[in-house]
Amino acid sequence: MKYSVIDISSSSISMIVADMNDRITEIIFRDRASLTLLHYLDGHDLSQRGIDKLVEAVSVMKDKCVSLGVDVVYLISTAALRAVGNFEEIGAAILNRTGLPVNAVDGQTEAYCDFIANRFYNAYESAVLLDIGGASVEICDLSADDRSGMQSIDFGILTLHNKFVEKIQPDAEEAKRIKKYVARKLDKANVPGEGRFATVVMVGAAALALYDLYAEYTDASIENGERSMQYKKFKKLVEHLLTGRDRSKLILDVAPEKLYSVGIAAVIAKAVFRRFGAKELLVSDRGVKEGYLQLVTEGKASASYYDFAKEEAVILPTKEAEGLPEKGADKGVSSKGQAAVQAAKKLSAKSGGDAAKRRGRPPKEGKDAAKRRGRPPKKGKEKVEKSAENTAANKESTQE
């Protein structure tokens, strides 16, 4: 059985594909495409152009699922769409044009998924998880048994860029203002100070980009399967990303898609590291998608999904699952997701009733048409006979 989770975030759309056999899950494919939705905001709403770009990106990811033989796919949205005013319209457009229902993930759930995917790091001394996203920052105490040590704070790379950075990358003065702002936010959220955590585990695309820059800048390498950074060397990297003459060349050589964001991510990371007085800095390649998949496949949470065998969305019955749906939501999807489903049904009714089941391809011909993934339907018997007659006639004409 193959599963996929597609995640719509603030600066990209990403996916994982996992093969599950005998309850053992193996990630067999990862992909990510840049898509900064904040560039398409019209006030608090996502513009029609932005909706079209998002639908197109989801369709591309879905086609990759088809080529990889995926059985079930979950589409989730994290911080990217939480504050967007027209979420219902967006979710309806995606469902109507791709068949995939959107599961809206709130901040606490996002933090919990990060925790589930990385809790094996609790073997390290006083470990804390840090996820620096485009519109939110998640911090999780990996030694906690419940969710009391999980926080989602309402600022991120893109919000800080819009607030403080005039050009593409922050300069030293802008970085100072960002650090003060981050410190105030951490204080307000009652994030623990020095002495509480010794190991910081970073997750997410920004963290992986930071490690790649660190490895290039310091000639570091992955040892024993771990991406580890020394704090003193990391500080020098941050300084270089703010004031170095060739900082843009370094980013363009290593992580060009993060030109706008990696400098801010470095400033946030350094501020958090200093606050904790951490001894060890690690970077994990597991995050929200892996944690989400683990919860739903273990039956600890319910969520809507797309079934490739049935070629339609499956909206699950009401179930109070561990963490994923918001309280009071119906059918295993968040209240925002439910509204999107209802909006899509209205659009589907206007367009003939089957739009939500399609993948953007023409509808099947006839009741008994074979179920296929992108291949043309077989010709009927009469069409085949007629084609044969035409071919024979052409041969006779040629011979004459």
pLDDT tens track for 231-258: 999 999 999 999 999 999 999 999 998 9
pLDDT band with cut points at 50, 70 and 90 for residue 317: low
- Going by their DSSP bridges, the two strands 72-77 and 2-8 should be labelled as parallel
Percent of the chain residues past pLDDT 90, beyond the cut? 62
**pLDDT, position 59:** 98
Q: Which two tokens stand for residue 385?
A: 């006979």
**pLDDT, position 216:** 96
Q: What confidence tens digit (pLDDT) does each residue in 164-210 have?
A: 999 999 999 999 999 999 999 999 999 999 889 999 999 999 999 99
Provide φ and ψ at 331, rounded to 5°: 60, 35
Which residue has better confidence, 398 or 65? 65
**pLDDT, position 194:** 87
Q: Is 282 exposed, middle or buried (0-12, 13-18, 19+ CB in 10 A)?
A: buried
Report the C-alpha gap between 1 and 15 in whole angstroms.
Answer: 17
**pLDDT, position 225:** 83
Residue 277, amino acid:
G
Judged by average pLDDT, the poorest of 137-141, 177-181, 321-325 is 321-325
Judged by average pLDDT, the poorest of 188-192, 293-297, 385-389 is 385-389
Report the C-alpha gap between 204 and 141 in whole angstroms.
Answer: 17
The CA angle 209-214-215, to the nearest 5 degrees, is: 100
pTM over 0.95: no
Report the C-alpha gap between 141 and 57 in whole angstroms.
Answer: 34
The secondary structure element, H or E, covering residue 322 is none
pLDDT band with cut points at 50, 70 and 90 for residue 348: low
Decide if pLDDT at 72 tops 90: yes
Provide φ and ψ at 153, rounded to 5°: -110, 135
**pLDDT, position 364:** 40
Decide if pLDDT at 76 tops 80: yes
Average pLDDT on 269-281 reads 93
Closest CA to 373 of 306, 303, 297: 306
Is the distance from CB of 164 to CB of 181 less than 8 angstroms? yes
Report the C-alpha gap between 193 and 190 in whole angstroms.
Answer: 9
Q: What confidence tens digit (pLDDT) does each residue in 325-338 have?
A: 443 333 344 555 55
Closest CA to 199 of 124, 146, 100: 124
The CA angle 60-65-71, to the nearest 5 degrees, is: 145
Q: Which two tokens stand for residue 263?
A: 């400098």
**pLDDT, position 203:** 96
Q: Which two tokens stand for residue 48?
A: 């029609």
- Cross-strand bridge partners of residue 139: 130, 151
Residue 204 Cα distances to 87, 117, 274, 287, 320, angstroms: 24, 12, 20, 6, 28
Report the C-alpha gap between 162 and 340 in whole angstroms.
Answer: 28
Number of continuous H segments (helices) and E segments (strands) in the chain: 13, 15
Judged by average pLDDT, the poorest of 135-144, 156-165, 223-232, 346-355 is 346-355
For the chain, the straight-line distance linking the first and the last C-alpha, in angstroms and rounded, comes to 58
Question: Each residue of 163-193: b (16+ CB within 10 Å) or e?
Answer: ebbeeebbeeebbeebeebbeebbeeeebee
Judged by average pLDDT, the poorest of 133-137, 187-191, 393-397 is 393-397
Q: What integer best gives the mean pLDDT of the chain?
A: 83
pLDDT band with cut points at 50, 70 and 90 for residue 114: very high
Is the distance from CB of 303 to CB of 104 less than 8 angstroms? no
CA-CA-CA-CA torsion sign (38, 39, 41, 44): positive
Task: Return the CA Rg of the chain.
Answer: 24
